[in-house]
């Protein structure tokens, strides 16, 4: 080794030792008689001291060094007169007797410290420099720990990690595929997997019983904030299980990760049907760190002459506790907030439950105090509370109120990132109707089993069939999802038929799976977790990019290696492809 110690480990008990350290020059301070350098590596920072009186030439040499020079220094560990309690190594410094420049560095384009002056793009372009910063390095360390603990837990539960192929076949279901032209089979293409879904099911047919993989997946989707074209899943599948077996196994994984990575004990999971989630929270991934459940008012608010309510499918509200004191301006601002195109509500009705027990509302013309009291009762509101009510088409109104609920939760400080509320949302609809293409799509994927009791509806009313599917939601973030699968050929064929596939199309695209089902496929089910997102949640950040070593930017580009990029004409010729001008 070029060093005896790293830059994070020396303590006062090491005083007197002769040591050699390697690292990067983070900062230097020249105080005339003394020069100090902070030397950084992955493990920490150690102060180096150079004394003009005892070694003038070495001290002069030290003064010439630039930021991010790579150094090897030897010297004696010495107690500092000016201790720094904020640094683990802050009690000591190295009185340097030998200095080697291992490499020089150009002046970095941004400061490599806790707080940096570099903008997003610049830091992405020089990601290797950004990784030298504590914050980024800590995120990658957290990610490593999460992966390690995931493997430990699943291994202990008899799961085995199996790699599935990356060059697979494109299918029209789901998101858009990334495709890879084949040189050997010109005019033909591989596709990169959006998930190993069919392979993990085939591993169950293969009798592996419990599979997992921490695996890269690829989706060529239009980019949205916090989406990456390549991302990582913890992908899992189990045989001979019911839904509850799967949920319990992965509650166990969550509990293990919370304990091992965050030091948090006693995590519990609640369960909520998709229907309830939509009805009471206006979202299929409700943030259950706080209540503020929806209360429907149709029976109390309709038929009293207020057109907006009378013409609405749904009149529904939330109780913002303790907000009756909101000023006119604050309420107007909320109204504008819900009217923004992203939220899309037409207006907002408010009822203030004053401290003296009276009510003041934006619909006083239509509703008297007694009627407003009945609303307040429905909300179990108390004096000092503020009711916020929306009306309109059912799904749209629920969604908008769901957004308002989150916003109020934020304003009221009810969404503490250090509090965790975990739940499973279950019984999703199996199918989603698409107006544009006039057909059903699988809400999850076409391999998801319907709930047994809903099977008869598959012919008569497919839209109302519920899936044996579930999502894990933590603090309003969808961390993962899965389902119990179809495992017999006739039902799988039927599912494809409901999705508008002809028998030939189904056979062409998914024949390999349906054939396998004919050779003793076991009942099975599984789940996949968004690994990047789980890391971000544990790290207390909203952006998954921060937890990926070399992420793409918002436009899906890698600005460091400058990709995607044209390829060499020779390569194109080999593939028998032409550039379209
Ligand atoms: N493969 C599914 C997905 O990527 C998850 C699952 O059903 O296990 O969403």
Domain boundary residue among 49, 82, 103? 103
> Which ligand 1 atom sits closest to the C-alpha of 483?
7
Q: What are the start-end ranges of the E strands in 475-579?
A: 477-484, 524-530
Regarding whether 399 and 462 lie in a shared domain, the answer is no
Inside any domain, residue 344: yes
**In terms of residues, how long is the chain?**
581
- CATH number of domain containing 382: 3.30.1360.30
The CA distance from 55 to 551, in Å, is: 46
Regarding whether 461 and 425 lie in a shared domain, the answer is yes
Inside any domain, residue 494: yes
Regarding whether 206 and 231 lie in a shared domain, the answer is yes
Q: What is the mean pLDDT of the chain?
A: 96
- CATH number of domain containing 67: 2.40.50.140
**pLDDT-flagged residues of the chain (< 70):** 580-581
> Which ligand 1 atom sits closest to the C-alpha of 526?
8
pLDDT at 301: 97
Inside any domain, residue 236: yes
Each residue of 283-313: pLDDT tens digit? 999 999 999 999 999 999 999 999 999 999 9
> Which ligand 1 atom sits closest to the C-alpha of 527?
8
pLDDT at 173: 72
- CATH number of domain containing 234: 3.30.930.10
Q: What distance in angstroms lies between residue 528's CA and the mean position of ligand 1's atoms?
A: 5
196 close to 164: Cβ distance less than 8 angstroms? yes
Inside any domain, residue 367: yes
- Using a 6 Å cutoff on CB, does residue 197 contact ligand 1? yes
The CA-based angle 36-42-45, given to 5 degrees, is 20
- Give the alpha-carbon dihedral of 396, 402, 404, 409, to 10 degrees: 180
Regarding whether 427 and 385 lie in a shared domain, the answer is no
Domain boundary residue among 364, 379, 411? 411
> Which ligand 1 atom sits closest to the C-alpha of 196?
1
> Which ligand 1 atom sits closest to the C-alpha of 237?
8
Regarding whether 159 and 41 lie in a shared domain, the answer is no
**β-bridge partners, 525:** 238, 484
Domain boundary residue among 103, 120, 154? 103
- In the numeric block, which tokens belong to residue 194? 């959006």
- Using a 6 Å cutoff on CB, does residue 482 contact ligand 1? yes
Inside any domain, residue 357: yes
Regarding whether 527 and 503 lie in a shared domain, the answer is yes
pLDDT at 581: 63
Inside any domain, residue 486: yes
Regarding whether 531 and 427 lie in a shared domain, the answer is yes
Regarding whether 294 and 253 lie in a shared domain, the answer is no
80 CB burial (10 A radius; 0-12, 13-18, 19+): middle
Inside any domain, residue 394: yes
Inside any domain, residue 560: no
* Spatial CB neighbours of 299, under 8 Å, sequence gap ≥ 6: none
Ligand 1, atom 7, residue with closest C-alpha: 482
Chain mean position to CA 377? 38
- Using a 6 Å cutoff on CB, does residue 195 contact ligand 1? yes
Regarding whether 404 and 350 lie in a shared domain, the answer is yes
Q: What distance in angstroms lies between residue 426's CA and the mean position of ligand 1's atoms?
A: 15
Q: Give the count of domains, the chain.
A: 3
Regarding whether 240 and 318 lie in a shared domain, the answer is no
The range of the structural domain enclosing residue 30 comes to 12-103
Pocket test for ligand 1, best of 195, 202, 443 (most atoms within 8 A of CB): 195
Regarding whether 475 and 448 lie in a shared domain, the answer is yes
Regarding whether 427 and 407 lie in a shared domain, the answer is no
């Amino acid at each position: 080794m070029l060093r005896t110690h790293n830059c994070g480990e020396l303590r006062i008990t090491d005083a007197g030792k002769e040591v050699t350290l390697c690292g990067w020059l983070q900062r230097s301070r020249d105080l005339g008689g003394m020069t100090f350098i902070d030397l950084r590596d992955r493990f920490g920072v150690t102060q180096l001291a150079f004394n003009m009186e005892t070694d003038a030439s070495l001290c002069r040499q030290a003064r010439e060094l630039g930021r991010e020079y790579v150094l090897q220094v030897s010297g004696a560990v010495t107690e500092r007169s000016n201790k720094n309690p904020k640094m683990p190594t802050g009690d000591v410094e190295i009185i340097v007797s030998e200095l080697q420049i291992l490499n020089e560095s150009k002046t970095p384009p941004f400061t490599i410290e806790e707080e940096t002056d570099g903008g997003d793009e610049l830091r992405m372009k020089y990601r290797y420099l950004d990784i030298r910063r504590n914050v980024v390095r800590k995120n990658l360390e957290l990610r490593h720990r999460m992966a390690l603990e995931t493997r430990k837990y699943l291994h202990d539960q008899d799961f085995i990690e199996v790699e599935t192929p990356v060059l697979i076949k494109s299918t029209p279901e789901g998101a858009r595929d990334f495709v890879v032209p084949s040189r050997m089979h010109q005019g033909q293409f591989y596709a990169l997997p959006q998930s190993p879904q069919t392979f993990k099911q085939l591993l169950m047919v293969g009798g592996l019983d419990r599979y997992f993989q921490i695996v890269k997946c690829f989706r060529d989707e239009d980019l949205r904030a916090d989406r990456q074209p390549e991302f990582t899943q913890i992908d899992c599948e189990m045989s001979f299980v019911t839904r509850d077996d799967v949920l319990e196994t992965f509650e166990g994984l969550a509990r293990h990760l919370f304990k091992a990575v965050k030091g948090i004990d006693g995590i519990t999971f609640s369960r909520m049907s998709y229907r309830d989630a939509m009805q009471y929270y206006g979202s299929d991934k409700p943030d259950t760190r706080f209540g503020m459940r929806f209360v429907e008012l149709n029976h109390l608010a309709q038929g009293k002459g207020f057109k907006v309510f009378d013409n609405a499918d749904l009149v529904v509200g939330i109780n913002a506790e303790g907000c009756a004191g909101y000023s006119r301006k604050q309420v107007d601002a909320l109204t504008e907030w819900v009217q923004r195109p992203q939220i899309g509500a037409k207006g907002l009705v408010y009822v203030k439950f004053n401290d003296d027990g009276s009510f003041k509302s934006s619909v006083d013309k239509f509703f008297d105090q007694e009627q407003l009291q009945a609303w307040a009762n429905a909300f179990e509101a108390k004096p000092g509370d503020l009711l916020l009510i929306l009306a309109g088409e059912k799904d749209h109104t629920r969604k908008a109120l769901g957004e308002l609920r989150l916003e109020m939760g934020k304003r009221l400080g009810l969404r503490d990132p250090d509090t965790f509320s975990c739940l499973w949302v279950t019984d999703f609809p199996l199918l989603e109707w698409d107006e544009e293409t006039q057909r059903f799509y699988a809400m999850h994927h076409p391999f998801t089993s319907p709930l047994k009791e809903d099977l008869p509806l598959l012919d008569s009313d497919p839209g109302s069939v519920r899936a044996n599917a579930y999502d894990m939601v933590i603090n309003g973030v969808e961390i993962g999802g899965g389902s119990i699968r179809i495992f017999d050929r006739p039902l799988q064929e039927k599912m494809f038929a409901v999705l508008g596939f002809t028998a030939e199309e189904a056979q062409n695209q998914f024949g390999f799976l349906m054939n396998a089902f004919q050779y003793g496929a076991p009942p099975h089910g599984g789940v996949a977790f968004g690994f990047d997102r789980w890391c971000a949640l544990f790290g207390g950040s909203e952006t998954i990019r921060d937890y990926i070593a070399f992420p793409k930017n918002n436009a899906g580009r890698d600005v460091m290696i400058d990709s995607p990029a044209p390829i060499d004409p020779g390569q194109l010729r080999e593939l028998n492809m032409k550039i379209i001008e």
